[in-house]
Amino acid sequence: MEQRVEGIDVLACEQCPELCESRSQIVNGTGATDASVLFVGEGPGANEDEQGEPFVGRSGDVLDSALRDRGLARSDVRITNCVRCRPPENRDPTTNELGNCREHLHREIVAVDPELIVPLGKVPSQHLLQRDVAVTKEAGSVVEHRIAGTPRRVVICVHPAATLYDSSQKDVFHRALDEAVSIVGHDAGGQSRLSEY
Backbone angles phi, psi at 48, to 5 degrees: -65, -40
81/133 Cα distance (integer angstroms): 18
Given the complex with ligand URA, which of 31 and 54 has the nearer CB atom?
A: 54
Given the complex with ligand URA, which of 55 and 173 has the nearer CB atom?
A: 55
Given the complex with ligand URA, which of 57 and 114 has the nearer CB atom?
A: 57
Q: How far is the CB of 42 from ligand URA (least distance, A)?
A: 4
Given the complex with ligand URA, which of 43 and 140 has the nearer CB atom?
A: 43
Q: Give how far Cα 57 sits from Cα of 17, 79, 102, Å.
A: 25, 14, 24
Q: How far is the CB of 190 from ligand URA (least distance, A)?
A: 27
Q: How far is the CB of 47 from ligand URA (least distance, A)?
A: 7
Q: How far is the CB of 45 from ligand URA (least distance, A)?
A: 5
Given the complex with ligand URA, which of 72 and 79 has the nearer CB atom?
A: 79
Cβ atoms of 85 and 23 closer than 8 Å? yes
Residues binding ligand URA (CB under 6 A) = 41-45, 48, 54-55, 57, 59, 81
Task: State the DSSP string of 61-101.
Answer: HHHHHHHHHTT--GGGSEEEES-SSPPGGGPPPPHHHHHHH
Q: How far is the CB of 10 from ligand URA (least distance, A)?
A: 15
Helices (H), the chain: 17-22, 46-51, 58-69, 95-112, 122-129, 135-138, 162-165, 168-184
Cβ-closest residue to ligand URA? 41
Burial of 125 (C-beta count, 10 Å sphere; 0-12/13-18/19+): buried
